[in-house]
Amino acid sequence: MRIKRIEHVAIAVRDLDAARRTFETLGIACDHEETINGVRLAMLPIGESALELLEPQREGTRTGEWIEQRGEGLYHICLEVEDIEAALAELRGKGVALLDEAPRTGHGGHRIAFLDPRSTAGVLVELVEMAAPAA
């Protein structure tokens, strides 16, 4: 498995608009927003990586549960891999617990999967295989 880069660092927030304004004050502008599975997100690129702001829009989301248990703040780190199926198979073979046994569609239409924090020093880790750019 080859990790290409830190694709993004996610921050769970109660008010995405307020958080976005805070980071824009720091000179970090948003270039993309979308809502996936009841979570509104904003991507704020910084060089080769990005900050991802996540605001739950309904009850029962993982992000909402995280905020209720731990409050706002650092939520997960996302690592870009070349082949997500191969990465999951390799990690499973090494005994890493997976929250997602198979990839699913995430931000920007990219393929994602989460690793169980019990296997990653208490840090929620997301893997992403970036979709090919539209022609």
Q: Per-domain residue ranges for the chain?
A: 3-129
Task: Give the pLDDT of the chain (135 residues) as one tens digit per residue.
Answer: 899 999 999 999 999 999 999 999 999 999 999 999 999 999 999 999 999 999 999 999 999 999 999 999 999 999 999 999 999 999 999 999 999 999 999 988 999 999 999 999 999 999 999 987 665
Contact 73, 59 (CB under 8 A): no
Q: Alpha carbon 51 to chain centroid distance?
A: 9
- How many Å from the N-terminal Cα to the C-terminal Cα in the chain? 28
The superfamily (CATH) of domain 3-129 is 2,3-Dihydroxybiphenyl 1,2-Dioxygenase, domain 1 (3.10.180.10)
Q: Identify the pLDDT of residue 131.
A: 83
Q: Identify the pLDDT of residue 134.
A: 60
For the chain, how many helices (H) and strands (E)?
A: 3, 8
**How many whole angstroms separate alpha carbon 82 and alpha carbon 133?**
14
